[in-house]
Structure 1
Amino acid sequence: MTTKKPPIPIPLLMLIGIMAISFSSIFIKWSDAPASVQGMYRLLFTSLLMLPFARPHSGAVHKLSTTDWVLLIFSGIMLALHFLLWMGSLSYTSVASSTMIMALEPVFIMLGAFVLYKERTAASAMLGVAIAIGGVCFIGWGDIGVSADNLKGDLLSVGGTAAVAVHMLISQKLVAQMPSYLYSLIVFSVAAVVFALYNLVMGIPFFDYPLTEWGIFLLLAIVPTVFGHLLFNWMMQYLSATTVSMSILAEPVVASILAYLLLSENLSNLQWAGGLLVMIGMAVYLWAERKKVDSVPPALENAS
């Protein structure tokens, strides 16, 4: 994990990113288009918005090795799979249940980071993870797996969580050696192409959608993708994949509140209590990670 300090305070960046990605499930619920179409245009529009600002990073493209390109393509495939499965899960289960399962992402990433990068997590940080995971379990307890449709949605969300964990682990490796902006642009473009091929093979229409749907596609690109995923990819220059994913544990809390306000999805007292546990768990984890960074000797810190 790098110890560079970002030009903007990390807590502010995390707050912006969490708020942005929390609107994703709301926009998806508002749309009647297939999940694969939502995902395709979400990533296509994001790539088009990013393209005019990519020129300063164009020189880095020539430095990419064959291995880098393979990893970039695989990361894009995993991102597309994440969106396809998770966005699809919202057709079968509630926002609270789906985002609760997605919040298990740090568990997948911690295991992967240990296996691939030998990245160890302090006991105090693990305690924070346990508290936060317990909190998100409370959030989704009221409606998880009680019917065949809910169970299908839950399984789709688990698959989407595993896919995004792989995507984040690849991000940690590649962003350390190439501009995060270029990484995001390439991966988003690859994922958009994957969606286009999927829709073509499945015979899903590309254009036959009302104007309101196109507005939702654009909102999905700007809000949760640019100010969410793109921002979190950029933060990977300064934080580990585990730390970034841990911040996303706040998404079930914010998304559930938004679903209550905008979709009339009710929350129980147990779910509100879970939200409090998530915040406590995040605070414990981030405190433990900050202690680890602060303990790095100055000479080693400058070497990064």
Structure 2
Amino acid sequence: MLIGIIAISFSSIFIKWSAAPVSVQGMYRLLFTSLLMLPFARPYTGAAAALRARDWLLLLFSGCMLALHFLLWMGSLSYTSVASSTMIMALEPVFIMLGAYIFYKEKTAAAAMLGMAVAIGGVVLIGWGDIGISPDNLKGDLLSIGGTAAVAVHLLVGQKLVIRMPSYLYSLIVFVAAAVVFAVYNLVMGISFFHYPSKEWGIFVLLAVVPTVFGHILFNWLLQYVSATTVSMNILGEPVGASILAFLLLGEQLKVLQWAGGLLVMLGLGVYLYTGRKKTAQSETALPSAS
């Protein structure tokens, strides 16, 4: 979880460094990640052959939602700051919690909800001084909200699918599907596939290796062991890491309230994870006596 949080914190930095269209960044990010994963996919061919038509449809839908997430969220960084965009992205657990309750009847303990509230409050402080009322900032905020909703759907579908298939196979198929969606989008919009300087290609590779392999793939793997709500709570750590990196590498200034918000995020995250871990431990203890 810690490795994943650090890795995804670099995502917004790489995106800010790039001058390429966000749809091209997203396409090559997912394409290069898929190519890195392919050599290790042979043991999962049997599992792929056993997938039902409904599974393939859900995988395609999850890939579309992932592509939509990248398109909207990455696009938001062209209009607003790293702190603002990642602060809004941290509302993802709210979408996840509601979706998990509606579709999976998954309940959340009161203490965990308190931790979630504290963490989200901290995220609000991080972006408080950075959210403006200009048309550009508003557009960036709306794009980030749309991207947050899309990735929440992606994670909820993933939670259902990784029960029946290896997380590695799930990640590979979904990344390929999302890359294809981006390719079709770029083709329709007449966006160039190849005419970019070497610096951009380096950024595409960094986006694939750092936040995707060590971020999204790790989070997909975690879905086998913890709920989508818990995985999404870890993303609350991204605004902290991303804001610090934006300060160091992009010169984006942070106010005292934003530093205080970072501490609240980590506190709330700790409360939530501790409550979830305690609940899991109690369940495991109860199983032998129940049997």
Offset of residue 176 of structure 1? 1.0
Offset of residue 145 of structure 1? 3.5
Change (3 A) 1:17 1:301: farther
Offset of residue 302 of structure 1? 11
Unaligned runs of 5+ in 1: 1-13
* AA partner of residue 284 (structure 1): V
Matched, 1:38 2:7: no
Within the candidate set 245, 264, 269, 2:232 is matched to 245
Offset of residue 144 of structure 1? 1.1
Offset of residue 301 of structure 1? 7.7
Counterpart-to-counterpart distance in 2, 1:301 and 1:29: 52
* AA partner of residue 94 (structure 2): V
Matched, 1:131 2:131: no
Within the candidate set 163, 183, 187, 1:176 is matched to 163
Which position in structure 2 is the counterpart of 1:73?
60
Which position in structure 1 is the counterpart of 2:177?
190
Q: Give the secondary structure class of the aligned counterpart of 1:295.
A: helix
Alignment of 1:223-234 (within 5 A): 223-234=210-221
Which position in structure 1 is the counterpart of 2:109?
122
Which position in structure 2 is the counterpart of 1:5?
none
Alignment of 1:49-128 (within 5 A): 49-128=36-115
Question: Quick one: percent identity of the two aligned structures?
Answer: 77
The TM-score, its normalising length taken from structure 2, stands at: 0.98
Segment of structure 1 superposing worse, 283-292 or 44-53: 283-292
Stretches (4+) displaced over 4 A: none
Within the candidate set 226, 238, 247, 1:260 is matched to 247
Offset of residue 299 of structure 1? 6.6
Counterpart-to-counterpart distance in 2, 1:21 and 1:302: 41
Q: Give the secondary structure class of the aligned counterpart of 2:130.
A: coil
Q: Give the secondary structure class of the aligned counterpart of 2:78.
A: coil
Q: Deviations over 1:101-144 (max 9, x none)?
A: 00000000000000010000000000000000000000011121
Offset of residue 62 of structure 1? 1.2
CA RMSD of aligned residues (A): 1.3
Q: Give the secondary structure class of the aligned counterpart of 1:238.
A: coil
Matched, 1:164 2:151: yes
* AA partner of residue 131 (structure 2): I
Q: Give the secondary structure class of the aligned counterpart of 2:96.
A: helix
Offset of residue 196 of structure 1? 0.1
Any conservation in 2 of the 1:175–1:236 contact (CA below 8 Å)? yes
Offset of residue 191 of structure 1? 0.1
Counterpart-to-counterpart distance in 1, 2:103 and 2:139: 31
Count of residue correspondences: 290
Change (3 A) 1:33 1:122: same
Any conservation in 2 of the 1:145–1:154 contact (CA below 8 Å)? no
Matched, 1:213 2:200: yes
Counterpart-to-counterpart distance in 2, 1:145 and 1:265: 15
Counterpart-to-counterpart distance in 1, 2:101 and 2:284: 23
Unaligned runs of 5+ in 2: none
